Structure 1
Amino acid sequence: MNLRRLLAIMVKELRQLRRDRVTLAMIMGMPVMQLLLFGYAINLNLRYLPAAVVDQAQTSGSRAAVQDLLASGVIEIKASAQSPQQLVDLLREGRISVGIAVPPDFERRKLDGREAIQVMVDGSDNVVQSAAAQLTQYSLDQPSDFHAPAQTPISVVSFYNPERRSPVNIVPGLIGVILTMTMVLFTAVAIVRETERGNMELLITTPVSRTELMIGKVLPYAAIGLVQTTLVLLLGLWLFRVPLRGSLWDVYLASVLLILANLSLGLLISTRARSQFQAMQMTFFVFLPSILLSGFMFPYAGMPVPAQWVSEALPLTHFIRLIRGIMLRGADLGDLWQDGVALLAFIAIMLTLAIRLFHKRLD
């Protein structure tokens, strides 16, 4: 082995890495991003879950009991309701994660040692369900002349997943994860592959416009995404008994929105990448935050505010809310219109940027 030739190869490789800005950014940026995501943005100790309270007793004891629950820091009032049925509606629409219902006979139930407060929990997220169960650990002492029990009995009712089966939470979100991974990757290499194989020269000589070329690249992969959605739905229903409480058409409409969002993002990446390897690198750089910050693996409520801002910019975050709301809570797209509008806005912005940045020329 000639050390001089070996050294020359090493220097050549380092110089090539220095010129490859995407690879250099991955080398430096990936460890930093993972450290920030796992050390700062991911938090399993949930606090300030969105909640609503219905106090039908309106006594000093019931108000003190509610204040003690709020003092735990687990929940925070984010909506108002006038009846237990309205709490159920808010849970179904995804506006709250916890509903607190105090019955009119609160004082009598407490004296008898019966359940005096009902905590309604959105069971479509197991982490939220576990966090809300902590409310039963707090002592709600109230002085009484009748020597009432020291604690106010609390019952926790889990909606939509009372058995707390993990597949019920995982499978709907897995649709979004699979679509994000495949759709972005497929289209990220689409334009670059045309250039590397020499097909771009042929396309340049045709009257095909930029818009026609980009949309023509998107539509075939959209059909593939629907096939993947159908496959995951069938396996989830058959193997894991995942319920489908909402409309199947709403499931497919939400999936189409995510598919188009990911395809437009992939097209934007393809206009910036110079090789298929760079396109795959940039795809992974987008895929990791989507998995960690979307609420699929780690709870959204446990993230700090800056991480939640980043999460809101990711299409997978909105799809997770849509698909869990439709499949598990029986909501429709009208109930979850904010997330649908967010996906439409993302599609419009990404596709416009991709079309503007793409040029029908080899340089």
Structure 2
Amino acid sequence: MNLRRMFAIVVKELCQLRRDRVTLGMILGIPVMQLVLFGYAINLNLRGLDAGIADQANTAASRALVMDMVATGVITPKLAATSPAQLMDALRRGEISVGVVVPPDFERRRFDGREAVQVLVDGSDTVVQSAAVQLAQLPLDGTPASNAKSERTGSGQVSVVSFYNPQRRSAVNIVPGLIGVILTMTMVLFTAVAIVRERERGNMELLIATPLSRSELMIGKVLPYIAIGLLQTTVVLALGMWLFQVPVRGGVLDVYIASMLLIVANLTLGLLISTRAQSQFQAMQMTFFFFLPSILLPGFMFPFAGMPRVVQWLAEVLPLTHFMRLIRGIMLRGANLVDLWPEVAALLVFTVVMMAAAILRFRKRLD
């Protein structure tokens, strides 16, 4: 073995890496991204859950109780309701995660030792359920919280009522989100190599000779994969209902429309990556930068409400964040697309922007 020749190969590889900016970016960027996401963005201790308050008693004691609940930091008042029905509508639409109901006879119930306050929880997210149980530890009669064991279980004066997943089954929470994760991983990757593959196989010359416009080529690349994505949705949905008894409380058509919105959004992003990458390997490297935050930030693996505000703003850019709210709202809470229109609008805007950027970047030429 000649060390000089071997050292020459080492120098060659280092020079090649220096010229490959995408690979160099991954070498430095992936450790930094993982460190920031896991160390700064991921937080399992939920605080600041959006809450609605229906204080029907409106007494000094009831107002003091609500202030004590807010002081825990677990909830942040977002809605002042007049009835439990209004809180339930807000829960179904995903506007709040927790609802606090103080009945008109709050003082009498508290004096008699009966259930005096009810906490309504969106159980479609099991982590939110666990965080909301802390509110049941608040005593109403001045007893220390450590002695409020019965309240913690919901059998005392503050009870926690979980809707949509009272058994706290993990599959009910995971399967709807898994549809989005699978569609994100496959759709972005499929189209990220679409244009690059044409160049590497020598088909770009044929495309250049055709009268196809840039828009026709981009849209034509996307359409076949929509059917593939809907097929994947059907497989995951059928297996989830059959193996894990995951309910579909909303319309099945709404589930497919929401899935198609995510599919198209991911496909347009993949096309944009494909216009930037120089090889299929480089395209796969670029998609990895997108996969990591898409898995960690939208609320599939870790609670969205526990993330810092800046990270939440970043997560709002990701299509999977809006799809998670859509699919859980439709399948688990029985909401429809009209109830969740902000998420629908966000996915449509993302799709239009990504498709426009991909069309503008693509040139029908070999260089």
The verdict on a shared fold, with TM-score over 0.5 as the criterion, is: yes
Q: Which amino acid aligns with 1:11?
A: V
Q: Which residue of 2 aligns with 1:209?
A: 213
- Give me the whole-angstrom Cα distance separating, in 1, the residues matched to 2:330 and 2:80: 23
Counterpart contact for 1:68–1:140, Cα < 8 Å: no
- Conserved in 1, the CA contact under 8 Å of 2:110 and 2:140? no
Correspondent of 1:285 among 286, 289, 309 = 289
Provide the C-alpha distance between the structure 2 equivalents of 1:288 and 1:47, rounded to a whole number of angstroms: 24
Shift of 1:65: 1.2
Q: Give the aligned partner of residue 56 of structure 1.
A: 56
- Is contact 2:189-2:284 (8 Å) kept? yes
Q: Say whether the 8 Å CA contact 1:121–1:159 is kept in structure 2.
A: yes
Partner of 1:314: 318
Q: Between the two proteins, what is the percent identity of the paired residues? A: 73
**Structure 2 counterparts to residues 7-26 of structure 1, below 5 A:** 7-26=7-26
Residue 28 (str. 1) matches residue 28 (str. 2): yes
Q: CA deviation at 1:114?
A: 1.3
SS at match of 1:158: strand
How far the C-alpha of 1:58 sits from its partner, in A, is 1.6
Match of 1:2 in 2: 2
Task: Give the Å deviation of 1:66.
Answer: 1.2
- What is aligned with 1:119? 119
Deviation string 1:251-285 (CA, Å, 9 cap, x unpaired) is: 01100100000000000000000000000000011
Give me the whole-angstrom Cα distance separating, in 2, the residues matched to 1:257 and 1:228.
14
Stretch of structure 1 that moved more, 125-134 or 105-114: 105-114
Aligned partners of 1:48 and 1:301 also within 8 Å: yes
Partner Cα distance (1:303, 1:323) in 2: 21
Counterparts of 1:1-363 in structure 2, within 5 Å, are 1-141=1-141, 153-363=157-367
Unaligned runs of 5+ in 1: 144-149
Deviation at 1:317, TM superposition (A): 0.1
Residue identity matched to 1:172: P
User: Which stretch of the first structure deviates more once superposed, 75-84 or 160-169?
Assistant: 75-84
Question: How far is the alpha carbon of 1:139 from its aligned partner?
Answer: 3.0
Counterpart of 1:147?
Answer: none
Distance, in Å, in 2 between the alignment partners of 1:48 and 1:211 is 44
TM-score of the aligned structures, taking structure 2 as reference length = 0.96
Shift of 1:331: 0.3
Give the CA RMSD over aligned residues.
1.3
- Quickly say closer, same or farther: Cα 1:127–1:166, change in 2 above 3 A: same
C-alpha contact (below 8 Å) 2:138/2:158 kept by paired residues = no
**Which amino acid is the alignment partner of residue 3 of structure 1?**
L
* Bigger mean CA offset, 338-347 vs 111-120: 111-120
**Distance (whole Å) between structure 2 residues aligned to residue 29 and residue 141 of structure 1:** 54
* Bigger Cα displacement from structure 2, 133-142 vs 344-353: 133-142
Q: How many Å apart are 1:141 and its aligned residue? A: 3.8
> Does the 8 Å contact 1:257/1:343 carry over to 2?
yes
Q: Distance in 1 between matches of 2:84 and 2:136?
A: 19
Distance in 1, matches of 2:142 and 2:5, equals 83
CA distance in 2 between partners of 1:342 and 1:64 (Å)? 39
1:166, distance to aligned residue in structure 2 (A): 0.2
Q: In structure 1, how many angstroms separate the alpha carbons of the residues matched to 2:34 and 2:140?
A: 41
**Distance in 1 between the 2:266 and 2:73 partners?**
37
| Secondary structure of residue in 1 paired with 2:281 | helix
